[in-house]
Each structure stands twice: as structure tokens, then as C-alpha cells.
Amino acid sequence: MHKNFKNIEKTVFGRGSFNQLSEIIEPKRNLNNKYFVYIVDAYFKGKDLENRLHSKPEDIVYFIDVDPHEPTTEQIDQLRNEILNSKGLPSGVIGIGGGSIMDIAKALSLMLRNEGKSQQYQGLNLIKNPGVYHVGIPTISGTGAECSMTAVLTGPEKKLGLKCEWTVFDQLILDSELTASVPVDKWFFTGMDTFIHCIESRDGILNNAYSMAYGEESLKLCRDIFLSEKSGQNAENDDKLMVASLMGGLSLTYSEVGVCHALSYGLSKIFGEKHCYANCLAFQHLSDYYPEGVAEFKTMLQKHSIQLPSGLSKNWSDEEITAMANVAYNLPHMWNHAIGEDWKAKITIETIKDLYKRI
């Protein structure tokens, strides 16, 4: 079966395009109970961007701190109940922030029109009704969450997305001026998520002309941004990274991620490590699987003087390592893509535990 994917309805790209937000949402203000919900990364509270939201008095603006933990099912359910109990169904939801905020906005849009707990919808095509109109405005580039058809949530049982075509944003505003304030370590780790998406999408059995075209262009941009003489954080590279993130996301959508993402999910689930950082912790040790990609990654680390810790696994118990290996093993689509259809003959829980012990 070939993937039949709904793309984002509308995209505006360009520095300063954030200023078009009010004009873009104006025609939607007549929908439902005629107000908008803004979900904004708490980093922007009290910053210039707060004055540029141009929200109306009837709108609700939430500033959410994404650092304590990745978005949870419980957090979405609480938010949804609070909103519906106070003002009923909004015209739409606007997410302004990184991957965490993109996922909160996407999940909230769906849960506003689907009853019960969001944990019951973790998986593919379990959502019953389309969500409300939703707009994504990324402020840090790399995860591809702005274009993916999943809203990743950590639930009581699993970290898994609400995945369906209604998850995809109706509108994106890609204004790389908003990413200028990202600190260098977060810029690097989140950017590396894009790089790893492209390597994993390419180096596996599901790659195809469509995923490769997006992936190769995204890799070219990553090399400009992280390896070339003009590498580093500047206006031109911020533009490029925003596009690379989108294209990397589209590349993996039509192909798949692999070993690094499987390990990363285990690290997030058991130790609460952030997605992009967890990828970097794992990827440096995966030269058996991605020799060229890992070599390039190490050159990038060096070029930007980024240090990753070593010897972490010495402090992990066998129980913790086994628990992570189980999370990773239970992502068969990733192993199938990376290793091949006979992956179970080559990869066991023990193999995965050994990979974690390298960290």
C-alpha cells in the first residue's frame, strides 16, 4: 500500500510573514463560538512577540512552559476541558513555538471535537471527527512537527502520536525571524533532528524517488548550515533551516525513520530525555548502521564545539536498559525500514541493549 498523505493546506514563507497572522485568520473568526485560542511557548512571555500577537479581547492566550516534560495526554485533556467549559468551541487554535507547541496545538485542535481521553486515540486513524481550524507557527527549526500528520503525546502507557490526516495543520506561517533567539545548543540539537530524519529516511528499504528528492535537498541545506564556511546562525541559514526542517519532515513521511529514532523513543520514555537531544545521544554511536551520516554528524559537532556526554550508561541499571530496549523493539516499522523485512533475525532485545550500553 502506498502512502496517501494530506499535505498542509496553505503555507506562507518569508521573514516578517508573522505580521500577516491577523489577516490570515480573520475570515475564520466567524466559525463556532467566534474566538481563537493561542498556544504560545512561555519563552515569549514578556518578549516583543507578545505584543505582536494582535489577539482580540475574546481570545484566550496560553503561555505554556514546554521544558518540564514533553506534551502529555493528560495535559491536552485538561486544556480541552478548561476551554470548552469556559467558552465552548473556538474558531481555531494557533500554535507558536517549537515541536512541543506544534504537537499541543495539533492535539488540542483534534480533542476539541473528540470526546473522552486523548490516550484512547494514540495510534493511526483512531480519531473520529475532524478537529477545528489550526495554524502552526514554528519558532525553532528541525523536528518537522510543523508538517507531520502526527501529534506526539506521552500517555500513561506509551509515547505515541494522534495520527490521522486531520492532524495536519490547515495553515503554516514560516517566518525564520522568530528563530533568531534560539540558543546555540538548542539550535544545533533541533537542527540535527532534521539531519537525522534525512539520513534515516534515505538509508532504509522504504526510500523512494519522492522521499529522496525532499531528503537530498534538505541534506544539502543542512550541509550549508552546519558544515560550510558560512555555517552558523544567521538570517540566511535560519531561512534555510526552516525549509530543511519542512523537507526533512516530508521526506520521512513518505519513507520512515530508523534505528536512531527507535533508541531515542526509549530514552524519552524511560529518562524523559528531549527528542532531539536523545537522538544526538544515540546517533553518535550508530556508525555500524549509518557510517557516512555519523561521520558527517561528528564533523558538525566539532565545528560548532558541541560536547555530548559519554559513559551515561554506566549509571543505568539493567532494568532501565531493558525497559528502553523494549520500547525501541516495539517500533517494528522503524526496524523493518532500517534493517529489512528479516530484521527480527538480526535484531534482538540483547542487540538493542548493547546499543544503549554504548551511550
Q: Taking CB under 6 A as the rule, does residue 186 contact ligand NAD? A: yes
186 makes contact, choosing from ligand NAD, Zn ion, none, with CB < 5 to 8 Å by partner type, with ligand NAD
Q: Taking CB under 6 A as the rule, does residue 67 contact ligand NAD? A: yes
Q: What angle do CA 105, 96, 125 make, to 5 degrees?
A: 25
Q: What angle do CA 61, 62, 64 make, to 5 degrees?
A: 155
Q: Any residues with CB less than 8 A from the CB of 217 and at least 6 apart, and which? A: 244, 247
203 makes contact, choosing from Zn ion, ligand NAD, none, with CB < 5 to 8 Å by partner type, with none
Question: Is residue 250 a contact partner of residue 233, using CB atoms and an 8 Å limit?
Answer: no
Rounded least distance, CB 193 to Zn ion, Å: 4
Question: Is residue 118 a contact partner of residue 153, using CB atoms and an 8 Å limit?
Answer: yes
Q: Taking CB under 6 A as the rule, does residue 72 contact ligand NAD? A: no
Listed in sequence order, the DSSP H helices in the chain are 21-25, 48-51, 73-87, 99-111, 184-202, 209-226, 235-254, 259-271, 275-283, 291-303, 318-329, 332-339, 343-346, 349-357
Sites for ligand NAD among residues 121-150 (CB under 6 A): 139-140, 142-145, 148, 150
* Closest CA relative to residue 25, chosen from 86, 90, 76: 90
Q: Any residues with CB less than 8 A from the CB of 43 and at least 6 apart, and which? A: 97, 139, 181
Q: Which of 37, 40, 70, 201 binds ligand NAD (CB under 6 A)?
A: 70
* Residues across the chain: 359
Q: Fill in the per-residue mask, 187 to 226: x = in contact with ligand NAD (CB under 6 A), - = not in contact.
A: ---x------------------------------------
Q: Fill in the per-residue mask, 160 to 199: x = in contact with Zn ion (CB under 5 A), - = not in contact.
A: ---------------------------------x------
Q: Taking CB under 6 A as the rule, does residue 41 contact ligand NAD? A: yes
359 makes contact, choosing from Zn ion, ligand NAD, none, with CB < 5 to 8 Å by partner type, with none
75 makes contact, choosing from ligand NAD, Zn ion, none, with CB < 5 to 8 Å by partner type, with none
Question: Is residue 265 a contact partner of residue 159, using CB atoms and an 8 Å limit?
Answer: yes
Cα separation of 106 and 249, whole Å? Answer: 16
Rounded least distance, CB 72 to ligand NAD, Å: 10
> For binding to Zn ion (CB under 5 A), which residues are involved?
193
> For binding to ligand NAD (CB under 6 A), which residues are involved?
41, 43, 66-67, 70-71, 97-101, 103, 139-140, 142-145, 148, 150-152, 178-179, 181-182, 186, 190, 274-276
